[in-house]
Amino acid sequence: MDKPTSTSDQGKLRFGRYVRMFIGIVIGVFLVWRLYDVLVVEHKFGADTWVRFGLSGLILGGMYALIAIGYTLVYGIMFMINFAHGEVMMLGAFGGFFVFEALRFIPAPTLADPKLNFLDAHPIFSVFLAFAVGISISATAGYFLEKIAYRPLRKAPRLILLITAIGASIFLQNLAMLLFGPQRKNVVNPDLLDRGAGWTITVSGNPVLISYTGVFSLVLSAVLMIGLYILVQRTKLGRAMRSVAQDKNTASLMGVDVDDVISKTFIISGSLAGAAGVMWGIHMGLVNHYTGFLPGIKAFTAAVMGGIGNIPGAMLGGMVLGIIEATGPAALGIDFQLKDVIAFSILVLVLILRPSGILGEKLSEEKL
């Protein structure tokens, strides 16, 4: 970093800091006022509603976190924002959808139920297969995305990579639209994971449904995140990934094949996005070529919020963003349609107030 030399530069820096502080205070006061208004004065929602919002936030957050990890892993290793990452997730969602569709039309009649299909007869296997296929598709997509679109640009300026990523995103979206058609497709789950089914708990006298799909998604997200953390912290591949993220030349002097590690990073990111995509289909129930776009950008927001390049940050950012998005409109007393606005306001605010994110650290010199 260049240190500011002239006094006018210092003046500008100080001015910038005051402006940021001012913006922060204004927003803080506004938020406190709105929260006070909604929670204490108007008291619009009961505890049961908040529990419901919180739950859906957690579930959404788990999926955001999985996708955000992909942004952060790739950024950590290549210093690029892989804007096509949401599309990788969308391809995974289609993978899961098609597995369910195919299995639904395979008859598996029993004496008790002659109309039974394979999907309902073997729901656990079906879900497992959906994830296996979805993850494989996304992992493959991630691998070839890097190999075809990004690898030839390894030594190009980063802006070019960014534009390429946006191009790849548009390409994959349109490819999916041409292949699968633009209409939304209903994901038909096995009966076991019916979207209306779940446990019912009572909060302040009202029933709150904890859906099976939600619990399933959240648990699976947590398991995958723990798995990823172990992979990165405890395995040889994880060490190689961290070494490449810190210093590519020195990593290669240790015998690490940097290209190979980058490929594997894209495969891992793709796999997590694929899992999130299949979950998205199972929990949300709708899939089309546009499915990956918003979750992709929101997961990017989550990754920036947690501190881009930082894996626990991406996990935390994803969960926090999910919860804010789910509870925000109610807490601020605004229209629920505005939840996307809240998510992107957060992106802007983080970039203004704390560009390094919650857990972010300064970029070390060897990284730049």
- Which three-class secondary structure state does DSSP give residue 206? strand
Please state the separation of Cα 302 from the chain's center in Å. Answer: 7
Residue from the set 196, 249, 335, 337 that interacts with another protein by CB under 8 A: 249
Residue from the set 88, 228, 251, 311 that interacts with another protein by CB under 8 A: 251
Task: Single out the residue of 281, 248, 289 nearest to residue 265, CA to CA.
Answer: 248
Choose one: 166-174, 256-264, 277-285, 311-319; the region binding another protein (CB under 8 A): 256-264
Taking the least distance from each CB to another protein, the nearer of 17 and 151 is 151
The CA–CA distances, whole Å, from 327 to 39, 121, 333, 339, 342 equal 12, 38, 10, 9, 10
Choose one: 4-12, 80-88, 159-167, 249-257; the region binding another protein (CB under 8 A): 249-257
Q: 275: which 2 tokens?
A: 């899992």
Least gap, CB of 238 to another protein (angstroms): 10
Least gap, CB of 254 to another protein (angstroms): 5
In the block, which residue shows the tokens 């930082």?
Answer: 310
Taking the least distance from each CB to another protein, the nearer of 281 and 313 is 313
Q: 48: which 2 tokens?
A: 């049961």
Q: Is 240 in the site for another protein (CB under 8 A)?
A: yes
Query: Rounded to a whole number, what is the distance in angstroms from the first to the last CA of the chain?
Result: 10
- Spatial contact of 273 and 66, defined as CB atoms under 8 Å apart: yes
Taking the least distance from each CB to another protein, the nearer of 240 and 305 is 240
DSSP state of 62: H
Choose one: 83-91, 94-102, 254-262, 329-337; the region binding another protein (CB under 8 A): 254-262
Rounded CA separation 64/225 (Å):
12
Residues numbered 257-316 forming contacts with another protein, rule: CB under 8 A: 257-258
Residue from the set 82, 173, 243, 271 that interacts with another protein by CB under 8 A: 243
Residues 6+ apart with CB under 8 A from 36: none
Q: Is 255 in the site for another protein (CB under 8 A)?
A: yes
Q: Is 252 in the site for another protein (CB under 8 A)?
A: yes
* Binding residues vs another protein (CB under 8 A): 236, 239-240, 242-243, 246-247, 249-258, 364, 366
